[in-house]
């Protein structure tokens, strides 16, 4: 393979979950530290990092079509070729296959190894194709540069990996075992994010509420303890966390929803299905009743909590009646917003080999029915918010002159017209609800 000039510009494209978005930001900071700058909008980058997601089949296929498009669009007359790196969970799961199937890919780097990108870029520029899918979780964070300027909302990965082994899911294989980042590193990163302009921090983890660590006094604490300490950072206004697992929803964390003012009234607690047989087959280790009992406890301390979840329809063997149990659960909970997916068999996971794989048209129909119900509840939640007084954290300008967009405490998109700036916490009254956003007017004199 020919050597190429070291890249001067980069583009990082992240697919999938918020943890990938966080990883993408950290990779961008790493590349900036090497003197490589973001490619201007509309221009080709010398180096493209595709930060991939492997959770569903379509997510992985997108990567190959993106690689094809980058190669096809490469129009430099100097005989060079683009420097393409595939990162993220597809890289981890299918690294060898990518190298064989896509000769244009020069680097494959797993989610725990991306701190080594600078050296990989030097090797690839010298003409070598390189793969690094090692899994040393903590050294990655130690090797990353300090956080740079961020917007008013920032992600902070506190925990990675998963030991739960739900039978449909690739995460335990692509992200490895559950690892909590050390307490001191997180407090330090949170302070740096706030110094760099963040007013809201969302703590991230595949099982974020499994986080545990020793505080400065050497005492073991859980996510609730970490949240309480972060709430002491003066300029940090809001704290969120995602994604939680029902089994790690401790009484301490539930109590924090009642008494930590900066912890926003929003809980993303995936249930996946509303039938106990299906939940057992998924190896979810919670039942419908134990899930509902957690929600009751959370509502007891925070009655206005907005609830969110993830659902999978068409898990192998799911009958019509079992699917209807999911619809019943949705009606019982009254979610504010949710993610819902058709089951996608993931190679190497137990469910992929289970009997009773569901026909695509049955999955389509179930997903449509589920999404209709979820949309109805989302609209109802938004309508019930009308008249509420709350603050909105301004994130960006809207489409119309003088219009601004931000989020309510319940994670609703809110738009309003006022003389404000990004990062302001603006007191508003919610005026009119749509399915996906709410309009508001600014409360004066507050």
What's the closest the beta carbon of residue 178 comes to ligand SF4, in angstroms? 9
Helices and strands (DSSP H and E) totals, the chain: 13, 21
**Contact in structure between 7 and 39 (CB atoms under 8 Å):** no
Complex with ligand SAM: residue 4 or 157, whichever CB lies closer? 157
Closest CA to 271 of 301, 321, 315, 226: 315
Which residues make up the interface to ligand SF4 (CB under 6 A)? 162, 164-166, 169, 171-172, 206-207, 245
Helix 183-195 to helix 223-230 angle, to the nearest 10 degrees?
30
Determine, following the binding rule CB under 6 A, whether residue 171 of this chain makes contact with ligand SAM. yes
- Note the helical H segments in 75-116: 88-101
Q: Record the tokens describing residue 369, joined without a space.
A: 């029915």
The rounded radius of gyration (Å) of the Cα atoms in the chain is 23
53 binding partner (options ligand SAM, ligand SF4, none; Cβ < 5 to 8 Å by kind): none
Q: Which of residues 31-60 bind ligand SAM (CB under 6 A)?
A: 55-56
Q: What sign results for the dihedral spanned by CA atoms 364, 371, 270, 201?
A: positive
CB 114 within 8 A of CB 144: no
Among 7, 10, 12, 17, binds ligand SAM (CB under 6 A): 17
Range in contact with ligand SAM (rule: CB under 6 A) among 135-143, 343-351, 358-366, 397-405: 343-351
Q: Considering CB distances under 5 to 8 angstroms, the limit depending on partner class, which of ligand SAM, ligand SF4, none binds residue 346?
A: ligand SAM
Please identify which residue in 169, 194, 239, 392 interacts with ligand SAM, judged by CB under 6 A.
Answer: 169
- Contact present, 385 and 431 (Cβ < 8 Å): no
Quote the tokens at residue 275. Answer: 């039938």
Select the binding partner of residue 165 from ligand SAM, ligand SF4, none (C-beta < 5 to 8 A, by kind).
ligand SF4
Contact between 341 and ligand SAM by CB under 6 A: the answer reads yes
**Residue of 312, 373, 393, 438 that binds ligand SAM (CB under 6 A):** 312
E-strand ranges in 237-287 read: 238-242, 266-268
131 or 207: CB nearest ligand SF4: 207
For ligand SAM, the closer CB: 115 or 175: 175
Separation between Cα atoms, residue 39 and residue 43, nearest integer Å: 6
Q: What are the tokens at 185?
A: 């590193």
Find which of ligand SF4, ligand SAM, none residue 341 binds, CB within 5 to 8 Å per kind: ligand SAM
Q: Considering CB under 6 A, how many residues would be counted as binding ligand SAM?
A: 18
Where along the sequence are the contacts to ligand SAM (CB under 6 A)?
A: 17, 55-56, 168-169, 171, 206-207, 243, 245, 270, 272, 310, 312, 341, 343-344, 346
């Amino acid at each position: 393979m020919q050597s190429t000039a070291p890249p001067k510009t980069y583009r990082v494209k992240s697919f999938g979950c918020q943890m990938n978005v966080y990883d993408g930001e950290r990779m961008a900071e790493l590349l900036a530290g090497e003197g490589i700058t973001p490619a201007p909008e509309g221009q080709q980058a010398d180096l493209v990092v595709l930060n991939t997601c492997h959770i569903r089949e379509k997510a992985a296929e997108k990567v190959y079509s993106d690689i094809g498009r980058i190669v096809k669009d490469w129009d430099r007359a100097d005989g060079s070729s683009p420097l393409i790196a595939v990162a993220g969970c597809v890289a981890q799961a299918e690294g060898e296959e990518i190298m064989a199937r896509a000769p244009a890919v020069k680097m494959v780097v797993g989610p725990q190894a991306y701190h080594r990108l600078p050296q990989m870029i030097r090797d690839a520029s010298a003409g070598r194709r390189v793969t690094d899918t090692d899994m040393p979780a903590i050294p990655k964070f130690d090797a990353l540069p300090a956080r740079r300027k961020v917007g008013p909302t920032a992600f902070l990965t506190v925990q990675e990996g998963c030991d739960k082994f739900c039978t449909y899911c690739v995460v335990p294989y692509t992200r490895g075992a559950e690892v909590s980042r050390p307490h001191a590193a997180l407090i330090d990163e949170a302070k740096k994010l706030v110094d760099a302009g963040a007013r809201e921090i969302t703590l991230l983890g595949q099982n974020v509420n499994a986080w545990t660590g020793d505080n400065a006094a050497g005492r073991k604490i859980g996510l609730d303890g970490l949240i309480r300490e972060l709430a002491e950072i003066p300029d940090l206004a809001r704290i969120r966390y995602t994604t939680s697992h029902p089994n790690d929803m401790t009484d301490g964390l539930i109590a924090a929803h009642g008494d930590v003012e900066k912890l926003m009234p929003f809980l993303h607690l995936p249930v996946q299905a509303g039938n106990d047989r299906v939940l057992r087959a998924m190896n979810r280790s919670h039942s419908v009743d134990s899930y509902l009992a957690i929600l009751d406890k959370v509502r007891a301390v925070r009655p206005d909590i907005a609830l969110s979840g993830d659902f999978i329809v068409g898990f192998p063997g799911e009958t019509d009646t079992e699917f209807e149990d999911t619809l019943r659960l949705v009606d019982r909970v009254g979610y504010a917003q949710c993610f819902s997916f058709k089951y996608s068999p993931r190679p190497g996971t137990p469910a992929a080999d289970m009997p009773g794989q569901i026909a695509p048209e049955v999955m389509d129909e179930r997903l449509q029915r589920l999404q209709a119900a979820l949309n109805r509840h989302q609209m109802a939640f938004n309508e019930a918010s009308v008249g509420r007084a709350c603050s909105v954290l301004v994130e960006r300008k809207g489409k119309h002159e003088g219009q601004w967009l931000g989020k309510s405490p319940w994670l609703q998109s809110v738009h309003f017209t006022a003389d404000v700036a990004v990062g302001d916490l603006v007191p508003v009254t919610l005026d009119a609800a749509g399915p996906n956003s709410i309009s508001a007017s600014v409360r004066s004199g507050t």
